[in-house]
Amino acid sequence: MSVKEHTQEIIEELSTFVAYEKDDELDQLVTAILQAKTIFLSGAGRSGVAITGFSNRLLHLGLSVHLVGEISCPRTKKGDLLIIGSGSGTTPSLVTLAKKAKSNGISLALLTMDKESEMAKIADVVVVLPGVSPKLKENNLTSIQPMGSAFEQISFLTYDGIILELMERMNETGETMLERHTDLE
C-alpha cells in the first residue's frame, strides 16, 4: 500500500469518527468561549500541538488567549476559561492544572476521549471526541492508526470546526482575521 493510500484510509476513518461528536457538547464549548473574559489553553504532547494551533486561531478572532506555561501567560481571574485537550483525561501535569483552575474559580473545559476521567469529573464543559488509545479502559472504536493519533487528528479538525462556528457567531471573515495575523515573521 502506498503513502497516498494510507492517507486516504486515515481521512476515511476520521470522517466516520466525526459522527460520534455531540452537537450539544460542542455548543456548550462555543458558548463558554464567547462568554470568557480570557481563554487559557493547555495540552501535552501531540494534543498540545493541536491546542496550540487552536489558540492561534482564537487569537486571530480577536479573543484574549494565552497558552499555559508561556512566560507571557498572566494570572487567571474570575470569568476566565481554561481549555484542556487530553485524550486520556489523566495526564498528571494537566490534572494538576485543572485542579488549580477549579480552585482559582475559573471555568474548565475538557476535550477528551474519556468522559469518566478524573479531569472530566471536575470540568464544567466536557467534549468527548472519538479516538483509540491503550490508556482507555473501555472503547468500542478501533483505528488503523497507532496510539492516540486519531484523537489528535480529530481534535485538530474539531478545533477548526469550532473556529468556523465562532466566525459565524462573531461576524468574522478570513480577511478580518488576517488583520490580526502576525507581521513579525
DSSP, residue by residue, 94-129: HHHHHHHHHHTT-EEEEEES-TTSHHHHH-SEEEE-
End-to-end CA distance of the chain: give it in Å, rounded: 39
Identify the active-site residue in 5, 25, 118, 152: 152
Q: Is 172 a catalytic residue?
A: no
Helix extents (H) in the chain: 3-17, 23-35, 45-60, 92-103, 118-122, 149-170, 174-178
CA nearest neighbour of 180 among 41, 64, 38: 64
Q: Which residues pair with 126 in a beta bridge?
A: 110
Catalytic residue positions, numbered: 152
